[in-house]
Amino acid sequence: MQTRTVERVETWESRPFSGGAAALASLSDADFSGAVVADDVWLFFVNGRPVGVAGGTVDDVAASAGTAYEAPDLSLPLLFAMQEADGETRAQYYTNDTPLTETDATLEDAGFTGYVELSEDVLSGDYYVAYYGGRSLPVAFVGNAPEVVTGADAFERAADEVGVYEVVSVDLAFPDLPEVEADEAGAAAGAAVDVASDGDAGADTEALTGTADTTDSDADDAPADADTDDPLDATAALGGNPTADGATDDRATERPSVGASARDAGGPSADTPADAVREPESVGKSTAATGRRPTDSEAPRPSADPPAEAAVEEEPTARAMPEEEEDTVESADAEAAEREATRVPALAPEEDDIEPAAADATDSDADGPTDGEASAGASAASHGESEGRVETLRRELATREKRIERLEARLADAEEAVAARERDLEDVRAERDDLRGTVERLEERIATLEADLEAAKPGPGDLSPAEALAGTNLFVRYESKADPTLDDLGEAEQSEIDANLTLEHHTTFDASGATVDGEPYESFLESTAAYRFVSWVVRGLPREVLESGHSRGLADLYESIPEIDRAELDGTVELEGETGEATRHDFDVVLRDRMGDPLVVAALNTSRDPVTGAEMEALTDAASAVGELADSLGGALYVTASFFEPGALEVAGDATASGGLLRRSEKESYVKVSRKRGYHLCLVEDRNGSFHVTVPEL
Reported as a single tens digit per residue, the pLDDT across 621-647 is: 999 999 998 889 999 999 999 999 999
| Secondary structure (3-state) at 449 | helix
Residues 590, 387: Cα–Cα separation, whole Å: 122
Query: Do 380 and 474 belong to one domain?
Result: no
Residue 559 DSSP one-character state: H
Q: Are residues 494 and 601 in the same domain?
A: yes
pLDDT attached to residue 203: 37
Whether 334 is covered by a domain: the verdict is no
Domain co-membership, 548 together with 674: yes
Backbone angles phi, psi at 114, to 5 degrees: 155, -150
Residue 558 domain-assigned (yes or no): yes
Decide if 229 is inside a domain: no
Give the burial class of 562: count Cβ atoms within 10 A of its Cβ; 0-12 exposed, 13-18 middle, 19 or more buried: middle
How many domains, in total, are found in the chain? 2
Last residue of a domain, one of 457, 482, 499: 457
The distance in angstroms from the start CA to the end CA of the chain is: 116
Q: How many CB atoms lie within 10 A of CB 467?
A: 16
pLDDT of residue 210: 37
Same domain, 366 and 435: yes
For 62-105, what is each residue's pLDDT tens digit?
Answer: 999 999 999 999 999 999 999 998 899 999 999 999 999 999 99
Give the domain-ending residue among 429, 457, 485. Answer: 457
Same domain for 470 and 385?
Answer: no
Residues 513 and 443 in one domain: no
Residue 149 pLDDT > 80: yes
Residues 643 and 505 in one domain: yes
Is the residue at 661 inside a domain?
A: yes
pLDDT in tens, 439-460: 999 999 999 999 888 766 655 5
Do both 453 and 472 map to the same domain?
no
- In this prediction, residue 185 carries a pLDDT of 56
Q: What is the domain extent for residue 539?
A: 465-695
Residue 616 φ/ψ, nearest 5 degrees: -65, -40
Residue 387, domain member (yes or no)? yes
More confident position, 468 or 231:
468
Which residues 6+ apart lie within 8 Å of 653 measured at CB? 661
Closest CA to 536 of 459, 476, 579, 611: 476
State residue 373's pLDDT score: 58
Listing DSSP states for 259-282 in one string gives T-GGG--SS--TTS-GGGSS--HH
Rounded to whole angstroms, the Cα distance separating 35 from 61 reads: 11
**Are 597 and 624 found together in one domain?**
yes
Same domain membership, residue 418 and residue 364 = yes
What confidence tier does 575 reach under pLDDT thresholds 50, 70, 90? confident
Q: CA-to-CA distance for 485 and 10, rounded, in angstroms?
A: 119
Whether residue 608 is contained in a domain is answered as yes
Question: How high is the mean pLDDT of the chain?
Answer: 76
The HSE-up count of residue 367 (CA atoms within 13 Å, CB side) is: 10
Q: Are residues 392 and 506 in the same domain?
A: no
Interaxial angle between packed helices 185-209 and 21-29, expressed in degrees from 0 to 180 and rounded to the nearest 10: 0
Give Cα 609 distance to the centre of its chain: 60
Q: What is the pLDDT of residue 371?
A: 55
Give a yes or no: residue 9 inside a domain: no
Give the confidence band of 391 by pLDDT, cuts at 50, 70, 90: confident
φ, ψ for residue 371, nearest 5 deg? -65, 125
As a whole number of angstroms, the distance between CA 40 and CA 278 comes to: 29
Contact 605, 645 (CB under 8 A): no
State the Cα–Cα distance between residues 207 and 197, nearest whole angstrom: 15
On whether residue 8 sits in a domain, the answer given is no
Last residue of a domain, one of 407, 438, 457: 457
> When comparing pLDDT for 42 and 216, which is higher?
42
For 266, phi then psi, to 5°, come to: -75, -20
Q: Are residues 521 and 648 in the same domain?
A: yes
The DSSP H or E segment spanning 585 is strand 582-592
